[in-house]
Amino acid sequence: MQISFAAPKAAPSGGSWVVAAAEGGVLAPAALRADKASGGALSRALKFSRFTGKSGQFLEVAAPAGLAASRLLLVGLGKPESVDEKALEQIGAQITARLQALGDSAATFEIEIPKGKVKSGEIAAHLAFGARLRAYRFDKYRTKNLDEYEQRLVTLTIAVKDVAAAKKAYAGLAAVADGTLLARDLVNEPPNVLYPAEFARRAKTALIRLGVKVEVLGEAQMKKLGFGALLGVGQGSARESQLVVMQWNGAGQKGKKKQAAPVAFVGKGVCFDSGGLSLKPGNAMAGMKGDMAGAAAVTGTMMALATRKARVNAVGIIGLVENMPGPDAIRPDDVLKSLSGQTIEVLNTDAEGRLVLADALTYVQQRFKPRFIIDLATLTGAIVAALGFEHAGVFANDDRLAQRLTEAGLYTGERVWRLPLDPAYDKMIRSKIADVKNIGGANSGSITAAQFLKRFVEEGRPWAHLDIAGVAWQDGERKVMAPSWATGWGVRLLNRLVKEHYEA
């Protein structure tokens, strides 16, 4: 989609002209202008409709007389005072969905919020951001009937008085959109295409040109270093396991100290999770190409930060493996020696994500001494049972970090809900023969998984674990901001967190 910002004209020269009304049916200035130019078509249509200006409502006038526009689309904003950045993104997405369903390829949005609290440049930028996220498709593997799926909004013009302010605000958001769409692409790719080495290649291709340092460790290097837990998960697969280390050093651009300790993001990158020898039943296995969504979110976040040249030092570490059964696969009952030195009794090979994260967490602390660590992982089915599809679970050893994540999530719409860490649960992962076992009991599975990870976090190191198994992808009804299976969850959240609190 081509997005541009331009000063309002008397009327657009083609495509849909999208204008707004607040709750109560109060037409915004552009809507009044459109009504006048069309000889009152809008106000006549209003009389015959149930449109009241509530958010999510639309009123459409096709081929309006007196205008070059293909249609007028009136969008309801709801109460002006409740239209914040997130709401604007949703409105941008809703309009885009509507236009694509109608089959329009060009549109001009001219949306003002009478007595609203968001500045016009920001309004324009957030509308564009929502439109961009909604216009995303993943159809590279379709070879026919494309027109059935392919109604696309190709050119979007946002009419706004302060073009310079809009462009400036959108530059930062476009970077976040780039990162989010990269994360979606990675999650949507099938696992025969996107195996660990291919993921690592794509991370390099996407990030090196932006100035991110990207290193890839293969199995030989990891073996030498002692990544016994991560390598254990990958040993049943024909595909080589990889660890990708991404560094963006953006601090110090304004005379600040360059060596500031980085913030660190760690991602679970199980490119396919068959369960291993503890094989998943067929219906639970489909969709497990998305078990690398944590790694995708970390990669997308690095892209967002680098693209907008965030003034922060950030490191992203992703552990990429494929969890497969086979003659070389780890067995239930095996004991692995992790990079931290702690031994792990594997009692279920399907609890593999925590094994991958254990070594990635140890590595990031040993090498970078980060300011904090946030890990993201599609870790447990239990988090879906607990929180469904609306919140990710967050576990943290640091109240401030948990609070900041919660607030960032309310701002972006990627909400998180805190669950407990507590020594009382830690008992559940005691092993009879090793330091820890990789499963707890039948209950509180997300908490015991988090307790397991905590064993690999140094005392005093601020850390938060996001269990994103319920939010990384969606079946059935699609969320307004995310039209594909993969949502790209986490990129907006982490970008917001960094922007609010950790930039010099």
Q: Which of 76, 92, 353, 370 binds Zn ion (CB under 5 A)?
A: 353
Residue 242 as a binder of ligand BES (CB under 6 A): the answer is: no
**Nearest-CA neighbor of 263 among 401, 421, 416, 370?**
370
Name the closest residue to Zn ion (Cβ).
Answer: 273
Q: Which of 86, 280, 418, 478 is catalytic?
A: 280
Cβ neighbors of 220 (< 8 A, separation 6 or more) are none
DSSP 181: H
Task: Give the span between the Cα atoms of 288 and 292, in whole angstroms.
Answer: 8
**Nearest-CA neighbor of 391 among 413, 421, 420?**
413
In the complex with Mn ion, the residue whose CB is nearer, 177 or 270, is: 270
In the complex with Mn ion, the residue whose CB is nearer, 119 or 331, is: 331
354 is catalytic: yes
Q: Which of 196, 250, 353, 488 binds ligand BES (CB under 6 A)?
A: 353
Tokens of 96: 């885009």
Task: Give the span between the Cα atoms of 244 and 201, in whole angstroms.
Answer: 10
Cβ neighbors of 301 (< 8 A, separation 6 or more) are 179, 265, 314, 316, 490, 491, 494, 495
Q: Which of 18, 206, 382, 480 binds ligand BES (CB under 6 A)?
A: 382
What, of Zn ion, Mn ion, ligand BES, none, does residue 383 touch, CB below 5 to 8 Å by kind?
none
- For the bound state, the minimum distance from the C-beta of residue 353 to Zn ion, rounded and expressed in Å, comes to 4
Site track 283-312 with Zn ion (rule: CB under 5 A), x = hit? --------x---------------------
What, of Mn ion, Zn ion, ligand BES, none, does residue 348 touch, CB below 5 to 8 Å by kind?
ligand BES
Task: Give the span between the Cα atoms of 425 and 431, in whole angstroms.
Answer: 13
Residue 467 as a binder of ligand BES (CB under 6 A): the answer is: no
Window 241 to 280, contacts with Zn ion (CB under 5 A): 270, 273
Q: Which of 85, 89, 104, 273 binds Mn ion (CB under 5 A)?
A: 273
280 is catalytic: yes
In the complex with Mn ion, the residue whose CB is nearer, 64 or 236, is: 236
Helix-, strand-, coil-residue percentages of the chain, each rounded to 5: 40, 20, 40
Cβ neighbors of 420 (< 8 A, separation 6 or more) are 395, 447
In the complex with Mn ion, the residue whose CB is nearer, 64 or 275, is: 275
| Alpha-helical runs (H) found in 189-334 | 196-207, 219-225, 228-234, 282-285, 293-307
Tell me which residues touch ligand BES (CB under 6 A). 273, 291, 348, 350-353, 378-382, 384, 439, 445, 469
Tell me which residues touch Mn ion (CB under 5 A). 273, 350, 352
List residues with catalytic annotation.
Answer: 280, 354
